[in-house]
Structure 1
Amino acid sequence: MTTASAYPGEPRVPSSVFDAGAEHEQVVFCSDPASGLRAIIAIFSTALGPALGGTRFHPYPDESAALADALALSRAMAYKAACAGLDLGGGKAVIIGDPTKDSSEALLRAYGRFVASLHGRYITACDVGTYVEDMDIVAREARWVVGRSPAHGGSGDSGVLTAYGVFEGMRASAARVWGSPTLAGRTVAVSGVGKVGARLVGHLIEDGASVLATDVNPAALARLRTLHPQVEIVDDPDELVGAAADVYSPCALGGALTEDTVGRLRAKVVCGGANNQLAHAGVDKLLAEAGILYAPDFVVNAGGLIQVADEIEGYREDRAKASAARIFRTTRSVFELAEAEGQTPGAAAVTLAERRMTGIGRLRRILLP
């Protein structure tokens, strides 16, 4: 197994597909012209167990962008599973296309056949652009599918525990910065109020926080207004970055934290549900230099992974939620390691993950009868 020292969101400009996937165990290109399926499955590591990661259905501008996303996300999933204490590796799949126009039973079942061809090395689930109903269709062709509907023994929408885990990570961040594990009396700016962000807002309000929120989707904002009329809506997502808030919470797509973003942030904590929030590894250092505590995304947003992983044993909500609650302790451990070893929180989280992947992964060299 090859691991990387760079933060999982770091972009790459490969000279070939072989160079691009050099750090990964396997990259599979899936094509079924009859259904329109064009997909990529990336397996970063199986050192701790089968690679689990969702399927993203997105209209990428080109195949290179889709490949880059699959590679970055699969690596982040490996680190996420390792930090969460799961016996799982990291993988990710992307389907190229517009899910509102291109998704069909034939396409999803064709994709399921490719998942099945990996014989359990990769376990799939929902991600942006796919839903539990889609996983039920994929599962008609493959056994290795989680994030299914409750009617089929699944846990349903993984956004439930993703939001809960982010809230626990935010509590740990608050304890680190302000000395108390609560957001009561704080203002939190939430960018993206979809499946995760909207639920996070609910936890924050219940804890006594004031919330500013934005989203590029007017329908998502309309739903939020109905659920939580006390939330202050900011129409322009760009304006939310510089808003007077204690915490900035990116909960949309990745790459939201750039040099420009860091320069405009007034928050003292960044903690959100989006994957690969840093535009590149150097942003982690810029946040630290600006005195902004960054809670690494693949640590705090692991609740969804924990939720769907619990389906492998037979889903129990109480057990899954108890596991997700440990994100508070893991986030705190990351901050402590960063301080002890003079690292940024992002680098410390990678260190924590790689140490577990190496330490437990080596046990596979012990031959069992």
Structure 2
Amino acid sequence: MSVQELIVRRGRRSGVTTMVAVHSSALGPAVGGCRFKVYPRVHDAIDDVLRLSAAMTRKCAVAGLDFGGGKSVVALDSVPGPERRRDILLDHADLIESLDGGYLAGPDVGTGPEDMLVLRERTPHVFCVPEEHGGTGSSSGPTAVGVLAALRAGARAVFGSDGMKDRKVVISGYGSVGEHLATALAAQGADVTVSDVDERRLRAAAERGFGRVRPEQVLGIEADVLIPAAIGGVFGPGAEVAAPLVVGPANNQLTDDAVADDLAARGVLWIPDFVASAGGVVYTLGREAGKLTHEQALDRVEALEATTRRLLDAASANGTTPLAEADALAEARLTSGAGAAFGHTRPESVRPGPLLS
């Protein structure tokens, strides 16, 4: 499915390029994180926002959410200081506000709850502001809960049991979600090894008693479970993966969907990233849009285990992959119109900004 709407603008305060992609509003208004990142070229940022918004459409559809897929990106040329960062965020907020609720933003790579608070100065269409300001704060904890739910289903399919005691688990990326996962799995008795490009994070992992490995060695480590929890594009054609089960929160882990078939042919069970990583958006929208209690929203996150199990059972029965079954489920929801009660649709268009004209 092609993108429904792409808007690229140069901020009037900062001069920095900011963009929003609405991939689909078939099920409701588009939701997705705001990525704040240095890119070599503007078109690299555009490629990123398009891929990420498409993944959000699949994530929301498979998770049963009445929301569509979107994403926003601030395409930095360098890391800004605090004052300029604020100007950039306000420019981005103006762009979000111009969509009249067609896109709802949350944190992503490079942004957090405090940044959402800045965005909210200019637009109400923002999730995950700090709890003391009425939001749900960081979604990293619920995201980790969702990964663990998908992991249980995957472990039963591969090992016959979801117990993690004495299982060797390698986590690529020791950020906020990776740290939650490492702590939870170690508490279950797993032998946890982590990797990260940031030496400070690796030192913190060592202080917690976790093993460490260099990022370039991650795929080749003999392990029971590999958890990609950092950047996307981890698995390309012919990627050597030593673990029989791969499940993690990193977005867009495959360089191409055909890699899922390649992994399956080599005996690797890969749980689609947009399934495993849905806990954060399920929880946040449950709390902030659905007005659920903390416990009710977490119950919905835990339900990702049953969703994953159904996808794995269908893949086994049909001789396909979990990705093929997840895509079929997403397409069925999108074409059925389920969730259209939110009623926000926008005409398919691309609004050229100064850099696209």
Using structure 1 for the length normalisation, give the TM-score. Answer: 0.88
Is 275-284 or 303-312 further displaced after alignment?
303-312
Kept in 2: contact 1:153–1:314 (CA 8 A): no
Q: Which residue matches 1:292? A: 268
Q: Which residue matches 1:275? A: 251
**Two-structure CA RMSD over aligned residues (Å):** 1.7
Q: Which residue matches 1:336? A: 313
How many Å separate the matches in 2 of 1:64 and 1:195?
28
Q: Which residue matches 1:198? A: 179
Deviation of the 1:99 alpha carbon? 7.6
- Answering whether residue 42 of structure 2 is matched by residue 24 of structure 1, we say no
How many Å separate the matches in 2 of 1:304 and 1:326?
13
- Answering whether residue 44 of structure 2 is matched by residue 65 of structure 1, we say yes
Q: Which residue matches 2:355? A: none
How many Å separate the matches in 2 of 1:288 and 1:190?
20
Structure 2: which 5+ residue stretches go unaligned? Answer: 344-357
How many Å separate the matches in 1 of 2:130 and 2:293?
14
For 1:31-180, what aligned pairs fall within 5 Å after superposition? Answer: 31-97=10-76, 100-101=79-80, 104-180=85-161
Q: Number of matched residues?
A: 339
Deviation of the 1:285 alpha carbon? 0.7
Kept in 2: contact 1:147–1:157 (CA 8 A): yes
Q: Deviations over 1:112-146 (max 9, x none)?
A: 11111111110000000011000000011101100
- SS of 1:259's equivalent? coil
Q: Which residue matches 1:316? A: 293
Kept in 2: contact 1:155–1:315 (CA 8 A): no
Kept in 1: contact 2:169–2:190 (CA 8 A): yes
Of the three residues 319, 322, 325, the one matched with 2:302 is 325
Deviation of the 1:105 alpha carbon? 1.8
How many Å separate the matches in 2 of 1:287 and 1:260?
8
> Counterpart of 2:110 in structure 1: which amino acid?
G
For 1:330-369, what aligned pairs fall within 5 Å after superposition? Answer: 330-361=307-338
Kept in 2: contact 1:83–1:353 (CA 8 A): yes
> Counterpart of 1:165 in structure 2: which amino acid?
G
Q: 1:31 to 1:179 in 2, by over 3 A?
A: same
- SS of 2:135's equivalent? coil
Deviation of the 1:340 alpha carbon? 2.7
Q: Which residue matches 1:16? A: none
Q: Deviations over 1:28-70 (max 9, x none)?
A: 1122143133111000111111100000011111111111110
Deviation of the 1:362 alpha carbon? 9.0
> Counterpart of 2:282 in structure 1: which amino acid?
I
Percent of residue pairs bearing the same amino acid type: 37
Deviation of the 1:76 alpha carbon? 0.5
How many Å separate the matches in 2 of 1:179 and 1:30?
51
Is 95-104 or 118-127 further displaced after alignment?
95-104
Q: Deviations over 1:94-125 (max 9, x none)?
A: 10116842552222112111111111110000
> Counterpart of 2:148 in structure 1: which amino acid?
F
Deviation of the 1:361 alpha carbon? 4.6
Kept in 2: contact 1:42–1:92 (CA 8 A): yes
Q: 1:363 to 1:155 in 2, by over 3 A?
A: closer
How many Å separate the matches in 2 of 1:216 and 1:31?
31
> Counterpart of 1:135 in structure 2: which amino acid?
M
Q: 1:164 to 1:278 in 2, by over 3 A?
A: same
Q: Which residue matches 2:215? A: 237
> Counterpart of 2:211 in structure 1: which amino acid?
E
Kept in 1: contact 2:28–2:340 (CA 8 A): no
- SS of 2:72's equivalent? strand
Q: Which residue matches 2:232? A: 254
Q: 1:110 to 1:315 in 2, by over 3 A?
A: farther
> Counterpart of 1:296 in structure 2: which amino acid?
P
Deviation of the 1:192 alpha carbon? 0.4
Deviation of the 1:222 alpha carbon? 2.1
Structure 1: which 5+ residue stretches go unaligned? Answer: 4-22
How many Å separate the matches in 1 of 2:314 and 2:40?
39
> Counterpart of 1:215 in structure 2: which amino acid?
D
> Counterpart of 2:333 in structure 1: which amino acid?
R
- Answering whether residue 170 of structure 2 is matched by residue 189 of structure 1, we say yes
- SS of 1:101's equivalent? coil
How many Å separate the matches in 1 of 2:303 and 2:78?
34
Which has the bigger relative contact order, CA under 8 A and spacing at least 6? Answer: 2
